[in-house]
């Protein structure tokens, strides 16, 4: 099927000249096209034609994009959206002075959500996740990563990944499931780290890839979670089995996660709120994407990751919500983009690269997504505004009019005429 998306005021291509990521200064170069329309065939971008020439092109469908700026569909590359229960009680305790780490040490935090997930059925978890995915779609998100990590047992991690996988066919966007069994030690293994590592390494990792429940493995390298030696063991096995790797590291303490990440050539390192200058320089030179999560800093009232330094030293930076019930209860990627501008001093252009091509790279999907280029999937977010600065300036307002996945309009914002 052939379709034309005609007359947008601009097409922000985020073309990276074949690299499929942008580092340092390149993040500011979005390569916009004006007075052009996009031709799509069978869900793939076929051509760009000058508006003056569209009458010569025949197509089964024509979409009028007048008054919109077309961006690549946004890529949300780091979420913990599959969970049950609420942690509003912890939120209130934090307002009274308790810290996130103190709450975790006292048995709250991730363990509390784990209890809620273990007590929920597959059907209940599906029902909870469905509107969260719809909410991301309304913002212009066309690819969404969702981690497990709140089951923390053989049965419950599989259940959670089955819930996430259900939405590969039940939602209209691309869902990327990630196994985060190494999120924290569950209570029954608190004094038996070897036993839990054995469960992950020898049972879950082989089962999940064999049963096609995920191709991605993540871990939380932190004093209160997994040591760098423990992550090293998990990653060594995961890599042998063919998984792609990611790592939560340097959120509260640097416990050597970055070196393990570099050693195993992970796709991304995520968080980095407390990264040292020495590690920052190493990371900025590498091919690894730094996924920054300013929603966590905002929600926990904590320090922000050094986005400016990473970009100024030529790093590859992406942004994400880290949406989860404890450290970033913010299911809004546009708000994260706005916080990144105000609190991390990223420019509008850098922010757009960070939630498109670089976020796609963090997921290993940037050959087909993350930019508007011939041969890539026709995934677009069309914002009703005159300049990209409006997307950042209108804090808390969704200017996304259409979300388009593989050439089909899957969301049309009724609030925007």
Window 308-327: residues binding Fe ion (CB under 5 A): 322
Q: Give yes or no for residue 181 binding ligand NIG (CB under 6 A).
A: no
Give yes or no for residue 294 binding ligand NIG (CB under 6 A): no
Smallest distance from the beta carbon of 324 to ligand NIG, in angstroms? 4
Site for ligand NIG contains 110 (CB under 6 A)? yes
What x/- string results for residues 19 through 58 when contact with ligand NIG is judged by CB under 6 A?
A: ----------------------------------------
Span near ligand NIG by CB under 6 A; candidates 10-18, 171-179, 325-333, 360-368: 325-333
Q: Give the distance from CA 44 to its chain's centroid.
A: 22
C-alpha to C-alpha distance for 6 and 49, rounded to whole angstroms: 9
Of 127-135, 232-240, 321-329, 350-358, which segment contacts ligand NIG by CB under 6 A?
321-329
Picked from ligand NIG, Fe ion, none, the partner binding residue 109 (CB below 5 to 8 A depending on kind) is ligand NIG
Q: Where are the alpha helices (DSSP H) in 96-175?
A: 100-105, 110-118, 122-138, 154-170
Q: At what angle do helices 110-118 and 154-170 cross, to 10 degrees?
A: 80
DSSP 8-class letter at 304: P
Closest by CA position to 368, among listed 360, 359, 379, 377: 377
- Pick out residues in 334-373 that bind ligand NIG (CB under 6 A): none
Q: Shortest Cβ distance from residue 9 to ligand NIG (Å)?
A: 37
Both tokens of residue 395? 């804090």
Out of 73, 109, 181, 294, name the contact with ligand NIG by CB under 6 A: 109
Q: Which residue has the tokens 């719809």?
A: 134
Stretch that binds ligand NIG, among 236-244, 257-265, 318-326, 329-337 (CB under 6 A): 318-326
**Options 2-10, 19-27, 109-117, 329-337: segment touching ligand NIG (CB under 6 A):** 109-117
CB of 363 to Fe ion, least distance (A): 14
Residue 220 binding target from ligand NIG, Fe ion, none, CB below 5 to 8 Å by type: ligand NIG
Strand order through the sheet with 44-50: 44-50, 36-41, 2-6, 61-64
- Asked if 79 touches ligand NIG (CB under 6 A), the answer is no
The reply to whether 296 sits near ligand NIG by the rule CB under 6 A is: yes
Question: HSE (CB half, 13 Å, CA atoms) of 250?
Answer: 28
The residues pairing with 371 across neighbouring beta strands, listed in sequence order, are none
Considering beta carbons, is residue 147 or 166 the nearer one to Fe ion? Answer: 147
Give dist(CA 400, CA 397) in Å, integer.
9
- The correct pick among 37, 79, 113, 366 for binding ligand NIG (CB under 6 A) is 113
Q: Please list every residue from 185 through 244 that binds ligand NIG, using CB under 6 A.
A: 220
**Whether 238 contacts 230, CB under 8 Å:** no
CA distance 108 to 88: 12
How far CA 106 is from CA of 109, 112, 187, in Å, comes to: 8, 10, 11
Size of the site for ligand NIG (CB under 6 A): 13
76 sits near Fe ion (criterion: CB under 5 A): no
**Partner interacting with residue 327 (select from Fe ion, ligand NIG, none; CB below 5-8 Å by kind):** ligand NIG
| ∠ Cα 29 34 35 (to 5°) | 165
In this chain, which of 228, 327, 338, 353 binds ligand NIG, going by CB under 6 A? 327
CA distance 272 to 293: 9
Q: Are the C-beta atoms of 62 and 300 separated by less than 8 Å? A: no
Q: Which of 324, 377, 398, 413 binds ligand NIG (CB under 6 A)?
A: 324
Residues 6+ apart with CB under 8 A from 277: none
User: In this structure, what DSSP letter does residue 13 have?
Assistant: -
Q: Is 80 in the site for ligand NIG (CB under 6 A)?
A: yes
Looking at 6, 216, 248, 361, which residue binds ligand NIG (CB under 6 A)? 248
Q: Which two tokens stand for residue 264?
A: 């195993």
- Candidate segments 16-24, 108-116, 310-318, 393-401, binder of ligand NIG by CB under 6 A: 108-116
Q: Which residues contact 28 (CB under 8 A, 6 or more apart)?
A: 347, 349, 350, 353
Contact partner at residue 251 from Fe ion, ligand NIG, none, CB < 5 to 8 Å by partner kind: ligand NIG
Residues that bind Fe ion (CB under 5 A): 322
Q: Which residues bind ligand NIG (CB under 6 A)?
A: 80, 109-110, 113, 220, 248, 251, 296, 322, 324-327
């Amino acid at each position: 099927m052939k379709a034309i998306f005609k007359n947008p005021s601009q097409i922000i291509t985020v073309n990276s000249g074949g690299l499929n990521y942008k580092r340092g200064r390149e993040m500011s170069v979005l390569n916009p096209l004006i007075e052009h329309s996009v031709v799509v065939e069978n869900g793939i971008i076929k051509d760009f034609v000058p508006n003056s020439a569209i009458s010569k092109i025949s197509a089964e469908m024509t979409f009028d994009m007048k008054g919109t700026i077309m961006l690549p569909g946004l890529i949300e590359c780091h979420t913990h959206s599959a969970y049950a229960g609420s942690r509003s009680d912890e939120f209130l305790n934090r307002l009274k002075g308790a810290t996130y780490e103190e709450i975790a040490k006292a048995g709250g935090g991730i363990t509390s959500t784990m209890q809620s997930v273990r007590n929920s059925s597959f059907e209940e978890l599906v029902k909870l996740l469905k509107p969260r995915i719809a909410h991301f779609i309304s913002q212009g998100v066309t690819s969404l990563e969702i981690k497990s990590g709140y089951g923390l047992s053989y049965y419950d991690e599989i259940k959670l990944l089955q819930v996430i996988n259900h939405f590969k066919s039940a939602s209209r966007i691309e869902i990327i499931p990630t196994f985060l069994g190494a999120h924290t030690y569950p209570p029954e293994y608190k004094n038996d780290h070897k036993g839990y590592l054995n469960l992950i390494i020898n049972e879950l990792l082989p089962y999940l890839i064999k049963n096609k429940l995920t191709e991605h493995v993540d871990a939380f390298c932190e004093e209160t979670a997994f040591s760098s030696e423990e992550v090293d063991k998990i990653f060594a096995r995961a890599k042998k089995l063919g998984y792609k790797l990611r790592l939560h590291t340097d959120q509260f303490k640097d416990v050597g996660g970055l070196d393990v990440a570099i050693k195993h050539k992970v796709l991304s390192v995520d968080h980095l709120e407390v990264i040292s200058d020495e590690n920052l320089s190493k990371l900025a030179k590498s091919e690894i994407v730094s996924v920054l999560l300013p929603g966590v800093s905002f929600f926990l009232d904590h320090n922000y990751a050094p986005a400016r330094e990473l970009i100024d030293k030529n790093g590859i930076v992406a942004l994400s919500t880290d949406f989860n019930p404890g450290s970033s209860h913010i299911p809004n990627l546009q708000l994260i983009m706005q916080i990144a501008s105000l609190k991390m001093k990223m420019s509008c252009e850098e922010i757009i690269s960070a939630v498109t091509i670089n976020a796609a790279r963090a997921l290993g999907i940037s050959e087909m997504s993350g930019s508007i280029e011939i041969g890539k999937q026709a995934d677009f977010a069309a914002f009703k505004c005159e300049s990209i600065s409006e997307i950042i300036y209108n804090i808390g307002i969704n200017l996304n009019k259409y979300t388009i996945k593989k050439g089909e309009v899957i969301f049309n914002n009724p609030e925007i005429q």
